[in-house]
Amino acid sequence: MYLQHLQLHQFRNYAGQSVEFAAPKTILVGANAQGKSNLLEAVELLSTLKSHRTSRDRDLVQEGSAAAQITAALQRDSGPLDLTLTLRANGRRTLSVNSETVRRHLDFLGHINMVQFSSLDLDLVRGGPGTRRNWLDTVLIQLEPVYAYLWQQYQQVLKQRNAFLKQRRAHPERPPDAAQLPLWDQQLASMGARVIQRRYRMLKRLAPLAQKWHHTISGQQEQLVLAYAPNITHDPEQPDHLYGEFLAQIEARAGAEYHQGITLTGPHRDEVDLLINETPARQYGSQGQQRTLVLALKLAELQLIEEIIGEPPLLLLDDVLAELDLNRQNQLLAAIQERFQTLITTTHLGAFEAKWLDSAQVLTVEKGQ
């Protein structure tokens, strides 16, 4: 896929800006706080309808305006495509595909596929489990847009169930209607089992790709294990059993939930195991090992998305090249070549290898222009 054109209107610090992507690599160069990441964020929003920087649309709309608009023109194997996303300070959104308004998020998602790699992603290994769960979810939303719906439904049930448990704990003398709980449990298990299955399946496909990249980048010296680690023990090859196991484990933790007042079972507490030579990379990996691992995960993600959708996704590199040493920069460059359209931000062009500049389009970003 190729992103040809992006137009920003009252979005973040862009009053009105049109950008033509004239080469497979675009380097956005500029001082801090000029709008480089904002531009990548606009692409992220079109791709996932989410921003990793904020969950409130009013942060995205230019200060003093009521609405922002992001428009993109892209070329996919199936033909040209136009996407428009209108964001309002009051949170209401309008989505359109090829100038037709679409009502369901499902119909908007999956048109722009991308992999993001920013300096924040270095936390993928050293950060908490939530960082890794978010990463899985962002990939899944693109590959199976229905996942966005499923995950949202799961969180809705979780929120209601938690509110119930909290109220029961706070007011044991007048507890909420106990008949509600089994209904929440069933919904939680039903949605949760589907979330777990999808995450599990995706990681199973991703793991060999990550291992291959990791092998290459680390100079074939280390063994990587990447696996989904759900807090519900079950046989992953028997997905039909998962619902029953889920309910059984809710039951088993009922006492603890009573005291703690929160839901203790489910994919909102799952982990992704990352082991290098059988030791957890999070606690024991050196900084260099962690960087190598993140790079391997990102390259695997790129390859997996390409395999599944059949077209190379976009790559958004935000401020990350300067964090990679020469060897890792070269590995990345060799892996993407001209095949993946790449948007790169940097504060100075000297931050990376001159090779990156060959045939790249360089755009200077200053004060939202």
- Residues in contact with Mg ion by CB under 5 A are 37
Q: How many CA atoms lie within 13 A of 96 on its CB side?
A: 14
Q: Is 119 an interacting residue with respect to ligand ATP (CB under 6 A)?
A: no
Task: Evaluate whether 328 touches 294 at the Cβ level (below 8 Å).
Answer: no
Helix (H) or strand (E) holding 148: helix 146-170
> Interface residues for ligand ATP in 327-356 (CB under 6 A)?
345, 347
Binding mask 17-56 for ligand ATP (x = CB under 6 A): -------------x-xxxxxxx------------------
63 binds, among Mg ion, ligand ATP, none (CB under 5 to 8 A by kind): ligand ATP
At closest approach, how far in Å is the CB of 9 from ligand ATP? Answer: 12
- Which residues in 120-136 are b (16+ Cβ under 10 Å) and which e? ebbebbeeeeebbbebb
Closest CB to ligand ATP among 262 and 362? 362
Enter the tokens of residue 169.
């704990």
Task: Evaluate whether 249 touches 232 at the Cβ level (below 8 Å).
Answer: yes
At closest approach, how far in Å is the CB of 345 from Mg ion? Answer: 6
347 binds, among Mg ion, ligand ATP, none (CB under 5 to 8 A by kind): ligand ATP
Gap between the Cα atoms of 36 and 254, Å rounded: 49
At closest approach, how far in Å is the CB of 23 from ligand ATP? Answer: 21
Q: Is 9 an interacting residue with respect to ligand ATP (CB under 6 A)?
A: no
Return the residue of 26, 48, 62, 331 that touches ligand ATP, per CB under 6 A: 62
- Residues binding ligand ATP: what is the number (CB under 6 A)? 18
Return the residue of 63, 251, 307, 338 that touches ligand ATP, per CB under 6 A: 63
> Interface residues for ligand ATP in 299-328 (CB under 6 A)?
319
In residues, how long is the chain? Answer: 369
Beta-ladder partners of 75: 2, 80
Distance of CA 279 to the CA centre of its chain: 26
CA distances from 73 to 11, 39, 90 (A): 17, 15, 26
328 binds, among Mg ion, ligand ATP, none (CB under 5 to 8 A by kind): none
Beta-ladder partners of 346: 29
**Strand, helix or coil for residue 65:** coil
At closest approach, how far in Å is the CB of 14 from ligand ATP? Answer: 8
Closest CB to ligand ATP among 36 and 194? 36
At closest approach, how far in Å is the CB of 368 from ligand ATP? Answer: 7
Enter the tokens of residue 317.
């590199």
At closest approach, how far in Å is the CB of 91 from Mg ion? Answer: 25
Enter the tokens of residue 274.
């990352």
Enter the tokens of residue 284.
């024991």
At closest approach, how far in Å is the CB of 91 from ligand ATP? Answer: 14
Gap between the Cα atoms of 225 and 292, Å rounded: 14
35 binds, among Mg ion, ligand ATP, none (CB under 5 to 8 A by kind): ligand ATP
Residues lying near ligand ATP in the complex (CB under 6 A): 12-13, 30, 32-38, 59, 61-63, 319, 345, 347, 365
